Chain A
Amino acid sequence: MEDKDKTKEELIEEIKVIKARLANLQDLENKYKSAELGLKKAKEELEIEAWGHAKTNEAIKYLYKELDKKNKELQTLDKLKTDFINIASHELRTPLTIIREGISQVLDGIHGQITPEQREFLSICLEDVDRLKRVVSDILDISKIEAGRFKLIKEQVDIVSLAKVVIASFYPKVKSMGLEMRENFCKQAAIAYVDKDSIIRVFINLISNALKFTDKGYIEISVRDKPTDIECSISDTGRGISEEDIPQVFGKFEQFGNTEMAKEKGTGLGLSIAKSIIELHQGDIWVKSILNKGTKFTFTLPKYIEKDMPEGEDIPGV
């Protein structure tokens, strides 16, 4: 055998080599093991991180859900509020009509003669029923505007003739109060593209407001056809609004000065409604006032321009 021929030294050498390889292998195995350990650790770390992400995601989802819930709760509350106002206002209408009609029939003598005292007190009742009626309809309008359910039916309207009609309805009252009604209109028609009924409402609210606070002098209504819009103003020679009160003028249920003196109590909603209506028309409304001199409310309305016409309409005979 050749092996047997190898010298002892050679064998020792070989053993050494084998031992070195073995050591090498062991080293490799150790390295592998430690690498495996490292990987395992890294994996664990990653898992922890992933778990953390999942948890964060869960938390975010939960928060979103909570937000959504709160949002829905708020929406429900808002709807409840609107519903309540609607129902309350509607349920007030029938009894109000009955009370008003009952009183006015007795006053009109339909059910027999009444004494002057009875007339006086029934007239007081009727006046306050009318006030209640105005409050109910104002509250209903405000709630409609706030709920975005106040629909404008726009058409071409000559603001000069509209103002004339509204003013005419105030003449008897203005006269009985010893005031003067002045008109300051542009010569030609001022055509705006607006919801007629709601603009009548704005004029009525602003003129009523002016009358309420004016004891002497005049109320002046002006309509101007400006290049960009129609500008209307209602000015009076009344007691005016103090500087600190001006920012609240258009607020809800705001009443200034000695309203007890006013012949007809307001609802505190008239100016707020006027502002909302003008804003729905993309117009502006503002007030200038000097205490004890007078107040001037001005508002602008969009002019009628051809492109406002809905397509396919107003083609008679086609």
Chain B
Amino acid sequence: MPKKILIADDEPYMLKLIAARLKANNYEVVMASDGLYAVIKAHEEKPDLIILDIRMPVGGGMGVFENLRMTTDTMLIPIIFITAHPSEEIQRKVMEMGAEDFIAKPFDADELLAKVRKALGEDVDKSQAQ
């Protein structure tokens, strides 16, 4: 069964492109265009991984993260943050919060896929098989 990934980003093109890339790599994709919708979808869909944009309307990525960590059904889902405003402080902050990984825009597909695989615990076998 394909792993399910929830992506939340308020930039529709970004959302569409990340979704297409993940689908092409055999992942099931659920999309959310703001923080509130991301929380609702996370509870409904119970994804294996969540990718959150830090700056989003109706509760940015960090708000969503804290919200999801408070309920038992979503508290263990690994979360990767994405931001167009990267800084060492933000990176350190989200990693200290317990995020799985951090991606700075502009990123490329290889970086995204590598981090997704690592977060899902798939990277080891695949990289060794190559």
Contacts and interface: CB of A to CB of B under 8 A. Distances in A.
A110 B105 contact: no
A102 B18 CA distance: 9
Interface of B: 11, 13-14, 17-18, 20-21, 24, 84-85, 88, 104-109
Interface of A: 90-91, 93-94, 96-98, 100-102, 104-105, 108, 110-111, 133, 136, 151, 153
A101 B84 contact: no
A101 B108 contact: yes
Contact of A102 (B11, B17, B85): B17
B107 A97 contact: yes
Cβ-closest 4 pairs across A and B: A97-B106, A93-B105, A93-B84, A110-B24
B20 A94 contact: no
Given A93-B84, A108-B24, A111-B20, A98 B109 contact: no
A105 B17 contact: yes
Given A101-B17, A105-B21, A151 B109 contact: no
Contacts of A91: 84
Given A94-B11, A96-B105, A110-B21, 13 more contacts: A94-B14, A94-B84, A94-B106, A97-B107, A100-B106, A100-B108, A101-B21, A104-B109, A105-B21, A110-B24, A111-B20, A133-B106, A136-B106
Nearest to B107: A97
B85 A90 contact: yes
A46 B24 CA distance: 92
- Interface secondary structure of A, over-half rule: helix
Nearest to A136: B106
B88 A101 contact: no
Contact of B11 (A98, A105, A110, A136): A98
A101 B106 CA distance: 9
A91 B105 CA distance: 10
B24 A98 contact: no
Q: Which of A98, A102, A108 has the most CB of B within 10 A?
A: A98
A90 B84 contact: yes
Contacts of A108: 24, 109
B84 A153 contact: no
A104 B108 contact: yes
Contact of B17 (A90, A98, A151): A98
B21 A98 contact: no
Contacts of A94: 11, 14, 84, 105-106
A104 B110 CA distance: 11
A97 B21 CA distance: 13
14 contacts: A94-B14, A94-B105, A96-B105, A97-B84, A97-B105, A97-B107, A98-B11, A98-B17, A100-B108, A101-B18, A104-B109, A105-B20, A108-B109, A110-B21
A137 to B, nearest CB: 8
Nearest to B25: A110
A194 to B, nearest CB: 16
A196 to B, nearest CB: 13
A151 B11 contact: no
Contacts of A98: 11, 13-14, 17
